[in-house]
Structure 1
Amino acid sequence: MTDRRRINGPSGGTSTPIYSSYLAKDPKDLPERPTRTRPPNVLRKMFLKTGVTPSASGSAYLELEASKIPTSNAPGLSSLSTSGLKLTCTVHGPRPLPKSAPFSPHIILTTHVKYAPFATRKRRGYLRDASERDLGVHLETALRGVIIGDRWPKSGVEVIITILEGEEDQWWGDDIGRGATSAAEWGMMSVLSGCITVASAAIADAGIDCVDVVAGGVAAVVRSGNGGKAPSPTLVLDPVPSEHKDIIAACIVGYLPARDEITDLWVKGEIGHDSQSGNSIQSSSYEELADNAVQAALGSHRVLVAALRETADVKIGRL
């Protein structure tokens, strides 16, 4: 039965036209793929601030620097931003559960991760899809071992993350005519890493007791280059999918530095075999990949601690 009170959209998917001066019909005239200018062990610049939503018990905003590519063949444009990461998190609670809810000796944690419709080049729907539900499950796993839950019996806390700008899974030029090398959702790894860090900052801003602040970190085995002979795989920290020709494997961890514990571990890809060259990759292993992800988490932890110290100084100054 149709809804007569609104104009329904088309049943199938539609693609909107794109008008831009830097797009060309010939793939040879397109700007080159952005390249990583940072050393393999250097993270992107991170901005983290708490207390951005006064109506919530705790809130935080995280932004990662977006990589840019030169556009010499596009008049009027000196640089073109490819993809970055912008997250906002709000924490509501702890608050009592409904009277009809069964008794719980510890706090009930609920996580909700949602992409904004404009967060990626492919427009997102208003209902959560499978990838967003997976991000919520991983986020809950990373935070469950951090909160001291037995201090709030029969209480609940809700962590809501909105992704204002998400990492792209590949360079936009691959969709136009150069052929995509991978269809995996590699951008989810960096998004989850940012979600863990910004959620930890928001929980600390809400005054919820935790054993430590958890930070997210991601590392990957990548292959870069625009053509010619295929370069050898390289292990990098904080990878940007649009800067690399192919990502072989990636690892994301939620790490507690004070206790030297990992609360969440997610590995995607295969390290033992290179699908393009057909050779085995002996330079890296899953253990080394996880260790580098921990090093990336330590870098995020330093920014997290500095942001929380700044927030504590502001709150103490108001007393």
Structure 2
Amino acid sequence: MTDRRRINGPRGGTNPPIFASSLTSPSTLQATRPTRTRRPDELRKIYLKTGLTPSASGSAYLELTPSSPASHQANSLIPVSSSLKLTCTVHGPRPLPRSAPFTLHLLLTTHVKFAPFAARQRRGYTRDASERDLGVHLETALRGVIIGERWPKSGVEVIITVLEGEEDRWWGDEVGAGSNGVGAGGGWGMMNVLAGCITVASAAIVDAGIDCVDMVVGGVAAIVGNSNARRKRQLVTAEGRQTVLDPCPSEHENLEAACVVGYLQNRDEITELWVMGNAGTATEDLVDRAIDAANAARGVLVEAIKEAAQSKFGIKDADNGERKSTAATQDVEMAG
């Protein structure tokens, strides 16, 4: 049944046009495949900003900058690799309805939804199974962080909208160039989406002023096959496969396994763990590398929250390196 209140988009994909001149041969198409120029332990640049939605109790926006240079897409209208853009709003804590049963803990509700234009294949207006799974994983990561005993019979809602999602493979694999393991199983892009959801939700929760035991950060690591391996001792497994941090699926032909964690650095605890693929005996090392990625992303989260706090409470850096409130330095005149 169609919705007559709006003009629905096409049911199929909404991919950009592909000109026949750019598809002369599979070898020519493969030459445009993006390659990873970052070090195996280097993350993409992260942009994180809080307080963008005034009507919400807390909000945040996260964006990952594509690592592939723009010169690769000079002869094509199709981006070389996808990016990741997430927005999160937090509503609450607020009292539950009178009809709701009494609870001693804060009732947490998570909602993850892809925008219809977030991927090459157009998304529907209702949540599908993958979006519901992301919501469950996000709730698991956040449930062990919030101190729920301080808000009895109250609820908080975390809503994340994916404006642009990470693709599961390179677009050239879908037009006849073939795939060497990337398309098998699929879902590689969901790992980066979940890690970004955890980080942006943590920033929005802190912006809402909700008490937490620590700031949870998401991190991703993946095992790449021998075809893409660079011989780095500290990041090569016993089977000769390479472990990379913050993988971009379009930059790797042979992704064998991936892991995403929700990590609390101060407490050294993992609140969420999701492993996909066959890591074999390198599973423990893969989890450790995902924790390293979370620790690296934590610095961006701390700086974003510190900048938001300085702007909200009027805190500025003094010349001697200490911070003081501008409100405290102003003289107060009292009427007699």
Q: Deviations over 1:78-132 (max 9, x none)?
A: x944111000000000000000000000100000000001111111111111110
Distance (Å, rounded) in 2 between the aligned partners of 1:80 and 1:8: 27
Larger-gyration structure (1/2): 2
**Residue in structure 1 matched with residue 53 of structure 2 by the alignment:** 53
Alpha-carbon contact 2:106-2:152 (below 8 Å) kept? yes
CA change 1:224–1:64 in 2 (3 A) is farther
- After superposition, the Cα gap between the structure-2 partners of 1:74 and 1:58, relative to the gap in structure 1 and judged at 3 Å, is closer
Match of 2:126 in 1: 127
Which runs of structure 2 are paired with 1:1-319 in the superposition (5 Å)? 14-15=12-13, 18-21=16-19, 23-30=22-29, 31-68=31-68, 75=75, 80-180=79-179, 181=181, 182-183=183-184, 184-223=186-225, 225=227, 233-272=241-280, 285-317=282-314
- Assess, with a 3 A threshold, how the Cα gap between structure 1 residues 84 and 18 changes in structure 2: closer, same or farther: closer
**Which residue does the alignment assign to 1:278?**
none
Q: Deviation of residue 233 (structure 1)? A: 2.4
Cα shift readout 1:213-255 (whole Å, capped 9, x = no counterpart) = 00000100013758xxxx9521000000000002100010000
* 2:12 counterpart letter in structure 1: T
Give the Cα separation in 1 of the matches to 2:65 and 2:3.
Answer: 46
Give 3-state SS (helix, strand or coil) of 2:62's partner. Answer: strand
**Contact 2:38 / 2:67 at 8 angstroms: preserved in 1?**
no
Distance 2:171 2:4 in 1: 38
Q: Which runs of 4+ in 1 moved over 3 A?
A: 2-10, 12-18, 20-23, 69-77
8 A contact 2:258–2:275 mirrored in 1: yes
Deviation for aligned residue 1:29:
3.0
Query: Which structure has the highest helix share of the two?
Result: 2
Cα distance in 1 for partners of 2:98, 2:56 equals: 23
Question: How many residues are treated as equivalent by the alignment?
Answer: 301
Q: In structure 2, the residue corresponding to 1:83 is in which secondary structure?
A: coil
Q: CA deviation at 1:271?
A: 1.9
- Contact 2:15/2:120 (8 A) holds in 1: no
Give the Å deviation of 1:66.
Answer: 1.2
Per-residue CA deviations over 1:149-188 (Å, capped at 9, x if unaligned) read 0000000000000000110000000001111332311000
- The one-letter code of the counterpart of 2:44 is R
**Distance change in 2, residues 1:164/1:73 (3 Å):** closer
Once the two structures are TM-superposed, the CA of residue 57 in structure 1 deviates from its matched residue by 0.2
Give the Cα separation in 1 of the matches to 2:294 and 2:249: 18
Cα distance in 2 for partners of 1:60, 1:13 equals: 31
Note the alpha carbon deviations across 1:49-68, whole angstroms, 9 max, x for none.
00011110000000011133
Q: What's the offset of the Cα at 1:9?
A: 7.7
SS of 1:217's equivalent? strand
Could you tell me whether the CA contact under 8 Å between 2:105 and 2:152 is conserved in 1?
A: yes
SS at match of 2:314: helix
How far apart are 1:26 and its partner, in Å? 2.9
How far is the alpha carbon of 1:308 from its aligned partner? Answer: 0.4
Aligned residue type for 1:304: L
Paired with 2:264 and 2:73, the residues of 1 have a C-alpha distance of: 47
The answer on whether the counterparts of 2:58 and 2:207 sit within 8 Å (CA) in structure 1 is yes
Contact 2:13 2:122 in 1 (8 A): no
Contact 2:36 2:68 in 1 (8 A): no
TM-score normalised according to structure 1 size? 0.87
Structure 2 residues without counterparts, runs of 5 or longer: 229-238, 316-326, 328-336
> Shift of residue 33 of structure 1?
1.1
> Residues 268, 86 of structure 1: CA spacing in aligned structure 2 closer, same or farther, 3 A cutoff?
same
What are structure 1's unaligned runs of at least 5 residues?
A: 273-283
For 1:281, the equivalent position in structure 2 comes to none
Cα deviation 1:264-304 (Å, max 9, x = unaligned):
001011123xxxxxxxxxxx611100000000000111110
